[in-house]
Amino acid sequence: MPVLDSVTLRARDAIKGIWREAAKFGVVGILAFVVDNGGYNLLVFGLPGGAEGGVMRTAPVQASVVATAAAALFSWVGNRHWTYRGRHRAKVTHELALFLVANGVGLAITAGTVFASRQLLGLDSALSDNTARILGWVLATLFRFYAYRRYVFVAP
């Protein structure tokens, strides 16, 4: 049974490593979520209690792109230097390019849910925008976790 014990220990260590990685990824993601959604709400709806709305109140899809881009930059720094600090590439430019591609897809997913909510369903409230963005974030986060592990932050 030494082979079975060895396989069991390796499987347990792999699962533990993935959970640790997922937890760090989650912390960076939660903070990026705050940057993204906080930025979006400020751009579109302005400060709480403000009657006029934000500077991008007439451009919610573009505001989603701006907010998501700011969150992506935050995410790259956090994931590169904390979550995947032992797995990043020697060529920073190659890693950053792959990261930007993965986040471009994530950005399209998030902006796409806002587009669908606004243009296809005709919804334009803060609740509907934020619901659409949360759905987009869930889908984009699942994609990003896979893409980062598989393509962006790879072991040297």
pLDDT digit string, tens, across residues 57-83: 999 989 988 998 898 889 989 999 999
Q: Report CA dihedral (103, 135, 53, 122) to the nearest 10 degrees.
A: 120
Structure tokens at 115: 């587009």
pTM of the model: 0.68
100-105 LR contacts (CB < 8 Å, sep 24+):
100/72, 102/143, 102/144, 102/147, 102/148, 102/151, 102/152, 103/68, 103/72, 103/75, 103/76, 103/144, 105/140, 105/143, 105/147
Q: What φ, ψ does residue 38 adopt, rounded to 5°? A: -65, -45
| DSSP category for residue 22 | H
Per-residue pLDDT of the chain (156 residues; tens, 9 = 90+): 566 656 666 666 667 668 888 899 999 999 998 998 899 999 999 988 777 889 999 999 899 889 988 988 899 899 999 998 887 777 888 888 999 999 889 889 988 999 999 999 999 888 998 899 889 989 998 999 999 989 998 876
